[in-house]
Amino acid sequence: MTKILVADDLGEEGMALLRDVGDVTLKTGMDEATLRETLPGFETLVVRSATTVTARSLELADELALIGRAGIGIDNIDVAACTARGIAVMNTPEAGAVTTGEHALSLLMSLARKIPAADACIREGKWEKSKFTGVELEGKQLGVVGLGQIGRVVANKAAGIGMTIAAYDPFVTQAKAPDGVRMLDLDELLATSDFITVHVPLLKDTHHLLNRERLFAMKKGARLVHAARGGIVCEKALCEALEAGHLAGAALDVFEKEPLSADSPLRSAPNLILTPHLGASTFEAKRNVSLDMANQIRLAASKGVVLNGVNVAKLSPADALRAGPYMDLTGNLASVLTQTYSGPLVSLRLTVQGSIPASCHQALKVAMIVGALRPSVTGTLTPVNAERIAEERNVRVHLESSEMKRDFTSLLRVEALIGDTRHIASGTVLGHKHGRMVELDDYVLDAIPEGPMLVTFHRDEPGVVGQLGTLLGDAGCNISRMQIGTAKDHENALGVLNLSGNLADDKLEGMLSKVHDIDSIVSAHLVR
């Protein structure tokens, strides 16, 4: 049972699911120092937007392997520090997309018809109808900055009320844009749109993306909606653009500093609607975020698969279910190679053949690196930092796919250059869950590549298997499965024996020493 620390309110339904996964502790309202003192001993941390995870808060968290951000924004988590420590970070980008998109549209409509100001006027006992003449949305161009999950929700719903949709996203080509969405560069989008809505993450490259120059480059009389993350829009410059009358209005749900300070100039800026970060604040979104995060943590705990990873290879839920057994197999094949053959690891190559989706290939590559390096890495090694460690060790890593040349639906081939010699292990998955090693160098076999295993190269002659069985039995090691592989061009045979029973390290090492004393054994290796 994994130890889980929930640092923000997750909702009872999500908490109930988490309690089925592990030992759950709920402790909210922690500052950096308190979080730092609390984290030791926990393997999983769950946060929303209230808790900030800094490099310092992680310094004592030696057992922490996973941080789940219930929501989409990750600017409250030092992802670089997590990556350096091998901690996976994942979020729930889809759970709140509809709610946040609908809030952006609510701000858009309120802005177009000046609803908040009109409501305040009525409550003050006034009737100043002429002050609140608005504009229609039908036929107006909406410029969507960021065409991710939320941006697409906004674009789709805005098109439904008759707006024309243009978008800017450096990662989306026109061919991949939704029907009816015209992709523009940012400058053209700002200059031609009647309304701009912002839906990009807060990153180094997006901080003050809409600065003074770009705000004043917007079409005169345009209106801005910002419900993404504080810091993307320069608030000082926005006040200037509103006061100068260049922009007809703006609506903000997020701010550079939250809560918004009492003396913020935004509070007195003209034609500005302010809401207190309500983007994901609906009953449905809170429930969906809670359940999605709990289910993702359950999958990570049971299968080692990180959905919606921020600093690991991304997998969709459908791909994760399909790729899980292949990820285990890939790591095990690589580990067999680096524990069977001695010498420095120079390079790794993964060849994926068959029906495994291309969207899973990167995750399989990382699994290969973890499996290959695990026997030699004494510190923290996870899919998060495996590529960095391989690079530091000057291990070259390659990934390729090819057409099937064998009688398998899918086949994985791991090649490792160890010293001056290239070694190969190939495998497949039977019934979507049973991993098999079907080739080791030139030897053909059908072995389960799961440790502990004894791998022997021995002369192909009678009595060898019997001697091994007797020796292992005397050492208290049961042979749970055995495969013998042969190769046409070799006089030696390959033995792969899965072991169970009393398998303390000292007993295994003593057993291995005795195996080498058998005359017919050329070499023997323990694969853990």
At residue 288, φ and ψ (nearest 5 deg) are -65, -40
The answer to the question of residue 387 being in a domain is yes
pLDDT at 451 exceeding the cut of 80: no
Q: What is the pLDDT of residue 405?
A: 61
pLDDT at 182 exceeding the cut of 80: yes
Residues 346 and 460 in one domain: no
The answer to the question of residue 309 being in a domain is no
Distance CA 414, CA 435 (A): 14
Q: Are the C-beta atoms of 318 and 396 separated by less than 8 Å?
A: no
pLDDT at 504 exceeding the cut of 90: no
DSSP 214: H
Pick 102 or 507 by higher pLDDT.
102
- For residue 185, the enclosing domain spans 97-274
Q: What is the CATH number of the domain that holds 479?
A: 3.30.70.260
CA pseudo-torsion sign 151, 156, 157, 161? positive
The answer to the question of residue 336 being in a domain is yes
pLDDT at 502 exceeding the cut of 70: no
Residues 104 and 89 in one domain: no
Q: What does the DSSP assignment read for 407-454?
A: SSSEEEEEEEEETTEEEEEEEEEETTTEEEEEEETTEEEEE---SSEE
The residues assigned a catalytic role are 229, 258, 277
Q: What is the mean pLDDT of residues 296-307?
A: 86
Q: What confidence tier does 4 reach under pLDDT thresholds 50, 70, 90?
A: very high
Q: What is the mean pLDDT of residues 266-271?
A: 97
The CB-based long-range contact list for 148-151 (8 Å cut-off, 24+ gap) reads 148/93, 148/199, 148/200, 149/72, 149/93, 149/94, 149/97, 150/72, 150/97, 150/100, 150/101, 150/104, 150/199, 150/228, 151/101, 151/197, 151/199
Q: What confidence tier does 316 reach under pLDDT thresholds 50, 70, 90?
A: confident
The answer to which of 30-39, 89-98, 302-311, 335-344 has the lowest mean pLDDT is: 302-311
Q: What is the CATH number of the domain that holds 362?
A: 3.30.1330.90
Residues 209 and 255 in one domain: yes
Residues 142 and 263 in one domain: yes
Segment holding 224, helix H or strand E: strand 223-226
Q: What confidence tier does 404 reach under pLDDT thresholds 50, 70, 90?
A: low
Farthest-apart Cα atoms in the chain, separation:
104
Distance CA 272, CA 242 (A): 8
Across 171-193, b (16+ Cβ under 10 Å) vs e yields: ebeeeebeeebebbebeebbeeb
Q: What is the CATH number of the domain that holds 297?
A: 3.40.50.720
Q: Is 78 helix (H, G, I), strand (E, B) or coil?
A: coil
Q: What is the mean pLDDT of residues 216-236?
A: 97
The answer to the question of residue 308 being in a domain is no
Q: Are the C-beta atoms of 81 and 59 separated by less than 8 Å?
A: no
Q: What is the pLDDT of residue 394?
A: 96
DSSP 528: -
pLDDT at 406 exceeding the cut of 70: no
Residues 76 and 116 in one domain: no
Q: What is the pLDDT of residue 191?
A: 98
Q: What is the pLDDT of residue 63?
A: 93
Across 424-435, b (16+ Cβ under 10 Å) vs e yields: bbbbbbeeeeeb
Q: What is the pLDDT of residue 354?
A: 86
Q: Could you give the number of structural domains in the chain? A: 4
Q: What is the mean pLDDT of residues 13-17?
A: 94
Residues 230 and 264 in one domain: yes
Residues 105 and 236 in one domain: yes
Residues 250 and 328 in one domain: no
Q: In the listed set 396, 411, 441, which residue is the last one of a domain according to the structure?
A: 441
Distance CA 508, CA 522 (A): 18
Q: How far from 522 is each of 103, 333, 425, 481, 510, CA to CA, in Å?
A: 70, 22, 20, 21, 17
Cβ contacts of 283 within 8 Å, gap of 6 or more: none
The answer to the question of residue 82 being in a domain is yes
Pick 249 or 375 by higher pLDDT.
249
pLDDT at 203 exceeding the cut of 90: no
Q: What is the mean pLDDT of residues 487-511?
A: 80
CA atoms within 13 A on the CB side of 450: 11
Q: How far from 62 is each of 2, 140, 301, 372, CA to CA, in Å?
A: 14, 54, 17, 23
Distance CA 195, CA 450 (A): 58
Mean pLDDT of the chain: 92
The answer to the question of residue 174 being in a domain is yes
Q: Are the C-beta atoms of 165 and 181 separated by less than 8 Å?
A: yes
Q: What is the pLDDT of residue 373?
A: 96
The answer to the question of residue 41 being in a domain is yes
Residues 416 and 477 in one domain: no
The residues that bridge with 483 in the sheet, in sequence order, are: 496
Q: Which residue has the tokens 């809170």?
A: 286
pLDDT at 343 exceeding the cut of 90: yes
Residues 477 and 393 in one domain: no
The answer to the question of residue 8 being in a domain is yes
Q: In the listed set 413, 441, 469, which residue is the last one of a domain according to the structure?
A: 441
Distance CA 33, CA 210 (A): 34
Residues 131 and 258 in one domain: yes
The answer to which of 233-242, 287-296, 493-502 has the lowest mean pLDDT is: 493-502
The answer to which of 86-95, 141-150, 439-448, 500-509 has the lowest mean pLDDT is: 500-509
Residues 267 and 385 in one domain: no
Q: What confidence tier does 489 reach under pLDDT thresholds 50, 70, 90?
A: low
Q: What is the pLDDT of residue 372?
A: 96
Q: What is the dihedral of CA 33, 204, 67, 8, to 10 degrees?
A: 60
Q: What confidence tier does 509 reach under pLDDT thresholds 50, 70, 90?
A: confident
